[in-house]
Structures are given as C-alpha cells and as structure tokens.
Structure 1
Amino acid sequence: MKRRDLLKAAATLPLLPLLMRSGTTLARGAGTLATTLHSRLRPGQPGWPAATEWERLKQRVGGRLLKLEPPFASCSAPQPGNACTEVLKQLDNPFAVGDNPALTQTSGWADAWTSQPSAYAVAAESAADVVAAVDFARKHHLRLVVKGGGHSYQGTSDAPDSLLVWTRHMNQLSLHDAFVPQGCAGHVAPQTAVSVQAGAMWIDAYHAVTTQGGRYVQGGGCTTVGVAGLVQSGGFGSFSKRWGTAASNLLEAEVVTADGQVRIANACTNPELFWGLKGGGGGSLGVVTRLTLRTFELPKFFGGASMAIKAANAEAFRALITQAMTFYREALFNPHWGEQMALRGGDTLAVSMVFQDLTQKQAESVWAPFVAWVRAHPEYRFIQPVQITAVPARYFWDAEFFRKYAPQLIVSDNRPGAPHDHFVWAGDSKQVGWFLHGYQSAWLPAALLQTGRQARLTDALFDASQHWDLELHFNKGLAGAPADMITAARDTATHPQVLDAFALALIGAYGPPAFPGMQGVTPDLPKARREAAAVDAAMTHLRTVAPGAGSYVSESDYFLRDWQQGFWGGNYPRLAAAKRKYDPDGLFFVHHGVGSEDWSADGFTRLRT
C-alpha cells in the first residue's frame, strides 16, 4: 500500500472498535466500510484483528483456526528441523502438498506471483465454519482467499496477509438415485446424481461414482484437482466430447455469499448465482461448500491410444501434421475420443488419446489407416510404439487394478495411512510444485478443419512448433459433441467459443519447484523470460488463424489483456451483474476474476467504487 493510502485509511480507523462491536449491524453495512477505507488491512496495520479477536474466531470454528508460517522457514536454520525435512520429502507428492494449507500445487509464475501462505486459515469442516470465516473477513476488512485443491496456475488460491478458507477437510460424497434440486419439484425430473463437498478431489468422486457406484460423472483429467474449483472454472475432462463440461452438469450448489448467508443455487432458486457458478471462475461469487452433479450410465469400456512419431526433417514434419489433422477430422472428431496430440521439438508428434464406448479391437481399427500411412513412409519412425488398450470402464480409476496390471501409469500417495484409492496419473506428476515461465491457451474453431482452411491450420501449427512445444486438447472443445451436451454447455458462463471449438491449444513452459525459502533453489528468471517469449511467439502464429480466440480460465496467460473478453466473451456483462448482486462490496477477489478490475493487482486497494 502507498503511504498516502495508508494515511487515508488510518483517518477512519478510530471508528473501527465501535463498528466491530456492532456485529450484525456491520455485516449489513459492510459496503459503507469498504467504500470508505478503499483498502484491505494487512498484519501490523491499525485495525488488524487483535489476538483476542482471532481467539474468538477460533472458538467459533471449533478450534480449527490455524496460524500459518512459511513452510520452508525452518530450512534456513543451521540444523533444519523435522518440519523442513518432511515438507521436502513430500514435495513431489500432490496429495501431501494439498494437505498442507501453506502450500499450493504451483510454486509460482515468473514475474507474476510466488506461493506464500495466508496469515491464518480456517480449516473448514462445515458450511458454518465457512460462514464464520466470511463474517470475520467482512467485519475486519481482510483479504479473503479460498482453497480446495490448490491447483490454480494463476495463484488465485494463494495470497499473503490474508485469511484462508481451506475446504480440504470437507470431502464427503453421497450418491442419489432420484435427485430433484430444492424448489424445483414438479418442474425438473428426478435424475441420478452425486453430491460432493467442496474439498473433495476428482479421484474421490471417481472412486465413489465409478469404481464403487458403477456410473460416470463428468470431471477433470488430473485426479488431484479439486471438484469445486474445476466446476466453477468450466470443467473439462478427458471425456467432455461425450458428456460436456462439469459446469454444464451442475444441478445444484450450496454457497456462502459475501453477506454470510448459506444459499442454495439451482435453476429454480437463485438462478443467476447458479449460472455464474457454472464457469464464471472460482472465488468470485462466494464460497461453494457443496455441489450436486448429474451422473450417467457407464459405458462398457474406457481406453487409451498412445504413440510418438519422429519426422526426418521439417518438410516431413509439416506433412505429418497435415496427415494428423486430416485423420483427426475423419476418424476422431466425435464423442468417442478425447485428450491430446502434441507437437514437440525434434519434429515429433506425440499422441496421448483416450476413448470411451469402443472395444480395443474397434479402437485399433480406427487407428489402423494412420499407423499404416506412417509405416509406409520411410521419413517417419516410431520412437514410442503404438499402444492401444481398453479396460472395463469401472476399472478406469481403480487404484488396485492399475497397481496389479499397469503400475507404471500411476503414482500412489505413499504416506502411511493414506487412502488406498488415491493416485495421480504418472503423466501429471511433473506438475507438482512446478514454477511456471509462461502458459497460454486458445480455442481453435472447427472451421479450421475444413478442407479449404486446413492448409492454413497446418502452417500455423508447424510455425508455432518451431518456437515451442504445443498441445491440442481435443476434449476441451465441444464441437463434435452430442447436441444435448452442447445445449447444456450453452447455458453456462463459459466462453461461447467453446461450443464450436474442435480443440484447445495449450502452450506452456516451466521449471522445477521454487517455493520461497527453499535452500539452494532460485528460479532462473532470465531463462524463464526467454521461454515465456517463445511461448508468446508460438501462440501468435495460432492466433493468425484464430483471431480473437478465447482462453480457458483455468489454463491461461497470467498477463492476458482484455481478460474479460478472453475468458467469458459476451457472457461477462451478465457475470458482472451477478457479482454486483451477490458481492456488491467486492469481498471476494481473485486475479482476473469477475469484478477484479475494481481492485489493485494484489486485491488490497480499491481502484473504483
């Protein structure tokens, strides 16, 4: 905070003790205080809650108030203690990282943010705990942060000098045979569903719904991502080409709004809040405490197809890209297929696709023409063999099944007493603690696959790949999905471009974990900046064929300009109206979240009222 802003705030601080004693009166008049102060308080400033006030909050939440310290602080001691040793030992375990309220799954982003713990955290176990935290933050005008899985690349579940609502322990799930949202009786037919508390991860949901329940819920690909955060950000998973987004399958949410009220949001009750939660971004409209999601009949099989092909030279690589895009359009552009193809350095195409509702023989038949084409041309060679495998769908997230038949594909939580069903896909383990250098995304319209435009697409992909590796996530574009799934996704806040996108292009660069305080670890910022520039150059080529392409809010550029348009397009004015209705004083703030333009980049100083 600038000195003159602090002096302005200090002029009003003698009134704080009287206002704070007013309890409910202050809660109702929070907007007046926010507008007067123009800034949130930090530790050490006049008006920061006294120890007795923190103690009262602790009592209200059943003792579940934690004073957080930097997790690597003890590592600088001449003889580091057990706390330092333990956190370093588990730094590659995403479950352990998630279980530490002072850590996030990303350690930072070059020239953007670094992972730093909140001053205090409420380890919430109920909506009542969340209400207590929200009331306390509003009353004392604190920066409030919400964290479940802690996977935010942009640091939205992280802020120093804040009060953290940590929902990790709210992880109960329940299945429903005939769910009807509250207030919708007679208007909505009963549906099979699952209710999930805000702290649950997708592995918890898949274990309950698929492994144990024999049904399917549309969720995220990475098993350690939080359910609540993914749904609020839109929610693409491996099979979104078949079952849409997680947001489009939300039936109801329980949410604590800025006034400390626990509200039910669905199509019949608080419908604008409900719509905003479906893709409007986490942490902007309230604290979600429970979600209920539609479930589906499970297909017989899930499976995967993988391979990597190296071209002899750049000309051959360009031809390989053309063939891959033609093959995708003709054979894979349908609800059966999801996940990705990657263009990598060394003129390499890597395939890591998944499929549903096909036998292994059928999947092999689909790929046979492409594989035959590659083998018929001597300028290509397989540097990773073709592997196509199908498994009974009920086993797709069954940890015991993979430990027995394919242990190389998963990494289990190896801590004593850890839930036996917890694992992360081996390919996702590299993300644990990573320090981002650059990351950008763009939805590519399906029209680019048309014969008359495909040459330009090939050129753009090839040119981009000469700057940096890129991935095409086909499941993160809904073109080719069933009509009912597209209709459901249209009724969400997610950028409308996703409805006609065949893929989301992702380009990212990162380094090893670099949490503040780690001994002997310093991010190589010159290298990070060079790589960020290469990412930007690569994406520039893609935007020549997809001008105005939107970005997926969960996987996007921290420095994105015109982010309102980039994340939500024409949906933003409606989201902003929901924000004004349910959080008129801006209690909830995240970087590039709805309404964040009213605040400074750190969320502490109001820029406009």
Structure 2
Amino acid sequence: MHIRSFGVVLSVALLTSGAYGKLKFESVQLADEDAAMFPAISFAKGDNKTSEAECRAFPGSPDWPSVPDWDNFNASISGALLYPVIPAAACYPGPDRDATKCDFLVRSASTSHFYIDDPLMTLTQWPQGNTCLPALNTTGNCTRGGFPEFVVNATTVKHVQAAVNFARNKNIRLIIKNKGHDFGGRSLGAGSLSIWVHHLDEFEYLPRFKKVKYNGPAARYGTGLEQFELFNNMARYNITMVGSGVRTISANGGWFAHGGHGHLTSLYGLGSDQALELGVVTADGEYVVADEEENTDLFYALRGGGPSTYGVVVSVVVKAYPPTTLSSSSLSIACNPPADTNSRAQFAPISTATNFVNNTNRFWEAVNIYFRYKETIVNNSGVDWDYLYPLGSGSFSFRVRITYPNTTAERAAELLQPLYDNYVKAGFNFLPFNRIETIPTPYASRISPPPSSNGLAASRYRSRLLPHANWASDDLFNKTMAAIRESVEVGGYNFHSLALGPSPRAAGWPGRGSSVNPAWRHAVLHACLMTQQGVSLTAQAARDEEARIQGYLSRWRELTPGAGAYLNEGDPGEPDWQQGFYGSNYGELLRIKKERDPWGVFWATTTVGSEAWEVRVVDGYPRSQNGRLCRAGKTRVVEGRSL
C-alpha cells in the first residue's frame, strides 16, 4: 500500500483493557485537555450555531485549512492522518508511476484483499468520476476526482471524535468509509476528510448479556470487523450470528445501517434487527451508548435509518444464537444455450444438473413457476438467491439456490416437492431435487483466511422490494413477471433477486421497533436490475443508460405502489427516494437528524436530510461525488455569471 503520511510521528498510547461494556479502542477518548491544546478539535458543547457558508470548504478556497492546521490536527491524533496516493496513479506518468504495481492492479488485485485494505478505494468507481482507472496503456492524467483529500486511519474513538470535531469546526465535508462496498457513492466525496473505520475490528464474546427484555448470549464487536472475521468467531465460539453472505462486507457499517440481509433473514430478521446496544460518536463529538434505555432516538434511527447521517457507529452488541444449519438445493435452467463447450460452461450448475429448454416462452413459463414458489420459501423461514442472464440470440440462463435454516434434509425435500410437482404438471422433464445438502451456516464451521475483494466495477444497482400483495393475485403476479421478463429480454439487463421475509415475528425484540423501511416487513422478494457496463463507461453513456433503465424501473414501481427499495442495493436516482428508501419513517428520522446534527456534519447521498445539500458535479456522471458540496438551490456565480 502506497500512502504518503505526514512527518509528525508521535508515540501511540498503549491501549489498556477498558471496563466491562467497552472494547479496548473505545477506552481511548478525546478529552477537553486535548482540545485546549488545539481548539480546532473542540467539542460543540451545546453550540447549535450552523455555518452560514454556501459550500463546504474545498481545496483552494479561502476557508480551506492551512498546512499548519493539518499538521496540528495530525499531531492531535498521534500521526493517524493520511494523504493516500490513488493506487492507479502507478499506471500514469508522474512521480508515482510504478510498472510493477500497475501490472498487479490490472492482473491480480481483484484476486487479493488489496482493495478492501486500501484507505481510498471503493469497489464501485463511477461515483469517483473514473478519473484514475488502472490500465496498462493509459492516456491522459490521473486526478483525484471524487476521492477524499485526507483520511483519518481511526484506531481509537479519540481519532473519530477529533475528526468529527475538526470537520465541523472547519466546515469540511466529512465522509465515513469502511470496506469499500458502496454502490451509491456514500463513501466518496471530493475535497473531503474521510474517517476510515476499517481497523476498528475488535471482537468480544459475551456468554450472558442482559439488556431489558434480552438475557442470553451476545457479541460486541467493532464497526470495522469484516464478515469473514465474524464467521471465524462464530466457529471459535460455536454460535451463530446474522451476517451477510459476502465475506468482505463489514459486519456492521452500511450493511447494518440500512437493514442488512443474509442467509438467516427470514428466520432471525435483518442485520439491524440484531442490535442490543450501539457505541456512537455524535455530531457534537461526544461518545455515547444508545440502547432501549438511553439515547433511544439514536438507537431507533441507527437500526435501519440509513448510514453516515446521525453519527459514527464504532461498536455494536448483537444477539448470538445456537449453531444453525442450512439445508439447501439448487436449480439451473438454460434456454437455447450455445452449442460450443466453452459457452456452455457458463450454465454449469451450482449443485445440480442444468435443465435445458429450447423455447423462449417455455423458459419464462418455467421461471414463472419457480417465482410462484418463492412465497413458500419465505413463509417457511427460507431464503433463496437467483440470477437471470440474457445471453443474446434468444439465449437465457436462470440459476437459483434455496436454503432452509434449521431444517432437516427430509423436511426440505417435502417443502420442495410441490415445486417439482408443478414442473411435472406443466410438462417439464426437470431433474428432481434429489440432492439436498445440510451444512453449518456458511463459513462458520471453519477458520478461513481473508478472501479476495473482487475487482473494480461501474455497475449501478436498482432494486425494489416486492410485497406479498404481488403474490396474492394471479393477475398482479403475471403482470409483475411480465415486467421482469421485459427488463431482461427486451432491456438486456441482468436480474438478481432474493426471496426473504424479515417479518416482525422474525425480527423479534428489539428489531421490530427499529427504523428499517416498513416495506421490508411485507416483502417476499428483493429484486435488483443491473447494467452490464465496464469501469470506463463515459459520462454521456452513463446519462443515456440512466434514462433508458428508468423506463423499465417505472413499470416495477407502478406494480408495487407504496412499496420501497433497499438503499444498500438501491437506485442512486430513485425518483422519490425519501419514500422509496425510508417509507413512513422518514418524517421521524428527519426530526432526529435535525436535532442530533443541526450543523449538517454528516452527509451522504440519499440519506435522511441530504436534500438540504447537493454535489456540484464537474464530470457529468449522474449522482457522481466528484464536485464540491454546497447548499441545495443556491445560485453560484462564476466569473460574474449566475449558474
């Protein structure tokens, strides 16, 4: 990792074990004496006066902190301030050119943990502006674009508090980055100060944790704990916790802040439903504990009400369950597959043989039969995840894996039999579901090394939560499936969905009292439409694609009135995002936002209260973060002209 750091290097205080109720890094906090030495990191102390500046400070603007300011800030956090070099700068002419590193980035970085461990990078590049992409034969220059200007490598709560205070007191745009899984641009921001919480990754198993109505096993861990590390601790302590199916996502972070789904969603609820207690740094710089008894407004808002807007969550206590098994089976269907072996390989099944059809209408009939079955999965605490791919020339591929938690193979076979019977009744000669695997919760039965991070992408997710109502009527169900078919067959988009149902019963206490989008509680399907585009997509092509895909998504919205979408895999251009991402909770969440953060310290696109500010995009990419953050609706003047 190539990082330029400041020359100030101070000794870091030895972290001692904190009192019960805190992780070690939470015991190192900012004190008034620290602020006395450098007033720019002073706490707000009840001062609700907001800055009157039209825009956040920006490199080159008169209010941008001076070099001595940055040096003193760095000294106040013991040298934790970084000015990271963009990794792909190694591929461009200039002082950072490095042919060996460039070759690694192009050929090998996606099969390593490199991007997850980098303080700047996010796996989705379009919000940055695509100003510095890795390539062996580059043209043009590498510019910073939407990447932050400085990064605080937070390893203690003190680092987080100082960064929040410095950004607030100096009118600097502040962003929060964890592992870099961000499809909407919330971990990027031109001219910003980034709090990198990647290393707040301690874990503590609590065999007996008592909190109001809960008395049982739990775990406390830092917001930077990676999902594979959570799985490893599940294996160490022979427990189960709700987590993501993607091992490089943070076990807390953005995944948690707006719900978070996984293999156990229909049984135990969403990730945010598991929280019993949260450690938070608020906009005034204070560290607080939020639970059902204190700071209850934050406890409500931070469990599903969106990331990067009410405070910086540094730790969480979650429920732990007995070891959980999954009984699973798979289905693969291909329509008019290419004859050559290499092309045929893409139809390789997950765990069963592929079923082939040679008629497009019959293919979609088979898909519809399966989608009808999805409600049965949800009603029996199961989850599935599927992929529909258009392959050109009338060729399509459909794959799905079904999982039933804490279900025997025999019972899973009983649940699957009606689906197979419906295929037989419709004249499909499909292989029966005669191979059902019963395994421990994925990855939780063994200790595993860090997984690869995947490569860079430019894809934008668009999604919709489809409710039970769309299964209650044959007419509405058929119209829904026709809209999905049109999106794939005519639109040429990839379709991905998960059958899952985090009902109030599954959420339990205190999950059902959280701020998660109410649409989740009535959902059968989380459906996503994804574009097939490379990282080098031009701004004009991105705008054209944005306009085109909205035509298909509008049909989805028409068929699901009052439903919503999942922010973490949602459309950055969601037309009515307040309703779509937050539903009826938005008004209360906005009240909490204004009360807790009157300065507007925390801002990220499509989060609660974000309509008050806007990014003045300079690269033309829709919803890009490559531009200065300014108050919405203000007139800007450039060279005497109103813009």
TM-score when scaled to structure 1?
Answer: 0.81
Q: State yes or no: 1:566 paired with 2:583.
A: no
Larger mean CA deviation between 596-605 and 371-380 belongs to 371-380
Distance 2:571 2:442 in 1: 36
Give the drift of 1:140: 1.3
What residue identity is the alignment partner of 1:225?
I
Residue by residue over 1:521-557, the C-alpha shift from the partner in whole angstroms, topping out at 9 and shown as x without a partner, is x325565556545533332332232124311111111
What residue identity is the alignment partner of 2:73?
L
Distance 2:154 2:200 in 1: 7
Q: State yes or no: 1:459 paired with 2:482.
A: yes
Residue by residue over 1:210-259, the C-alpha shift from the partner in whole angstroms, topping out at 9 and shown as x without a partner, is x1111111121211111222111111112201110111111111111111
Map of 1:124 onto structure 2: 154
Map of 1:151 onto structure 2: 181
Q: State yes or no: 1:103 paired with 2:121.
A: yes
Mapped contact 2:181–2:249 kept (Cα < 8 A): yes
Distance 2:441 2:407 in 1: 14
Give the drift of 1:147: 0.6
Q: State yes or no: 1:421 paired with 2:449.
A: yes
What residue identity is the alignment partner of 1:545?
L
- Rate the CA distance shift 1:483–1:134 in 2: closer, same or farther, 3 A: same
Distance 2:388 2:326 in 1: 28
Map of 1:339 onto structure 2: 384
- Rate the CA distance shift 1:381–1:556 in 2: closer, same or farther, 3 A: same
Greater helix fraction, Structure 1 or Structure 2: 1
Q: How does 1:81-230 map to 2 (within 5 A)?
A: 81-93=99-111, 95-108=113-126, 116-181=146-211, 187-209=212-234, 211-226=235-250, 227-230=252-255
Map of 2:437 onto structure 1: 390
What residue identity is the alignment partner of 1:251?
L
Distance 1:355 1:281 in 2: 29
Map of 2:260 onto structure 1: 235
What residue identity is the alignment partner of 1:308?
I
Q: State yes or no: 1:587 paired with 2:590.
A: no
Give the drift of 1:506: 0.8
Map of 2:11 onto structure 1: none
What residue identity is the alignment partner of 1:265?
A
Map of 2:566 onto structure 1: 552
Q: Of the candidates 394, 405, 408, which is equivalent to residue 356 of structure 1?
A: 405
What residue identity is the alignment partner of 1:219?
G
Residue by residue over 1:144-174, the C-alpha shift from the partner in whole angstroms, topping out at 9 and shown as x without a partner, is 1111112111110111211110011111111
Residue by residue over 1:179-214, the C-alpha shift from the partner in whole angstroms, topping out at 9 and shown as x without a partner, is 235xxxxx44423111110111111112112x1111
- Rate the CA distance shift 1:500–1:68 in 2: closer, same or farther, 3 A: same
- Rate the CA distance shift 1:70–1:342 in 2: closer, same or farther, 3 A: closer
What residue identity is the alignment partner of 2:608?
V
Q: State yes or no: 1:497 paired with 2:511.
A: no
| SS of residue in 2 equivalent to 1:605 | strand
- Rate the CA distance shift 1:351–1:133 in 2: closer, same or farther, 3 A: same
Map of 1:50 onto structure 2: 66
What residue identity is the alignment partner of 1:350?
R
- Rate the CA distance shift 1:500–1:488 in 2: closer, same or farther, 3 A: farther
- Rate the CA distance shift 1:421–1:375 in 2: closer, same or farther, 3 A: farther
Give the drift of 1:57: 1.9
Q: Of the candidates 582, 588, 596, which is equivalent to residue 610 of structure 2?
A: 596
Percent identical among aligned pairs is 23
Residue by residue over 1:392-437, the C-alpha shift from the partner in whole angstroms, topping out at 9 and shown as x without a partner, is 416634466xxxxxxxxxxxxxxxxxxx53236xxxx76x31112x
- Rate the CA distance shift 1:81–1:319 in 2: closer, same or farther, 3 A: closer
What residue identity is the alignment partner of 1:263?
V
Mapped contact 1:116–1:159 kept (Cα < 8 A): yes
- Rate the CA distance shift 1:359–1:422 in 2: closer, same or farther, 3 A: farther
| SS of residue in 1 equivalent to 2:52 | helix
| SS of residue in 2 equivalent to 1:554 | helix
Distance 2:43 2:450 in 1: 44
What residue identity is the alignment partner of 2:368?
T
What residue identity is the alignment partner of 2:398?
L
Q: Of the candidates 296, 299, 317, which is equivalent to residue 363 of structure 2?
A: 317
- Rate the CA distance shift 1:588–1:523 in 2: closer, same or farther, 3 A: same
Q: How many residue pairs align between the two structures?
A: 545
| SS of residue in 1 equivalent to 2:558 | helix
What residue identity is the alignment partner of 1:236?
H
- Rate the CA distance shift 1:90–1:280 in 2: closer, same or farther, 3 A: farther
| SS of residue in 2 equivalent to 1:535 | helix
TM-score when scaled to structure 2?
Answer: 0.77
| SS of residue in 2 equivalent to 1:98 | coil
- Rate the CA distance shift 1:498–1:77 in 2: closer, same or farther, 3 A: same
| SS of residue in 2 equivalent to 1:27 | coil
What residue identity is the alignment partner of 1:465?
V
What residue identity is the alignment partner of 1:232?
A
Map of 2:637 onto structure 1: none
Larger mean CA deviation between 85-94 and 488-497 belongs to 85-94
Distance 1:343 1:142 in 2: 43
Give the drift of 1:67: 1.0
Mapped contact 1:40–1:604 kept (Cα < 8 A): yes
Map of 1:184 onto structure 2: none
Map of 2:352 onto structure 1: none
Mapped contact 1:465–1:538 kept (Cα < 8 A): no
Map of 1:262 onto structure 2: 287
What residue identity is the alignment partner of 2:449?
D
Q: Of the candidates 286, 290, 300, which is equivalent to residue 275 of structure 1?
A: 300
Map of 1:12 onto structure 2: none
Q: List gaps (5 residues or longer) in structure 1.
A: 1-18, 182-186, 401-419, 515-521
Map of 1:76 onto structure 2: 92
- Rate the CA distance shift 1:160–1:111 in 2: closer, same or farther, 3 A: closer
RMSD: 3.1
Residue by residue over 1:344-377, the C-alpha shift from the partner in whole angstroms, topping out at 9 and shown as x without a partner, is 3234432122231223444344334534654676
| SS of residue in 2 equivalent to 1:219 | coil
Distance 1:160 1:298 in 2: 45
Give the drift of 1:94: 6.4
Distance 1:490 1:287 in 2: 23
- Rate the CA distance shift 1:109–1:381 in 2: closer, same or farther, 3 A: farther
Mapped contact 1:510–1:528 kept (Cα < 8 A): no
Give the drift of 1:462: 2.9
- Rate the CA distance shift 1:441–1:20 in 2: closer, same or farther, 3 A: farther
Q: List gaps (5 residues or longer) in structure 2.
A: 1-35, 133-144, 336-356, 617-627, 635-643
Distance 1:270 1:594 in 2: 18
- Rate the CA distance shift 1:340–1:535 in 2: closer, same or farther, 3 A: farther
Distance 1:387 1:200 in 2: 38
Give the drift of 1:449: 1.3
What residue identity is the alignment partner of 1:423?
P
Distance 1:608 1:76 in 2: 38
| SS of residue in 1 equivalent to 2:301 | helix
Mapped contact 1:460–1:544 kept (Cα < 8 A): no
Distance 1:162 1:265 in 2: 28
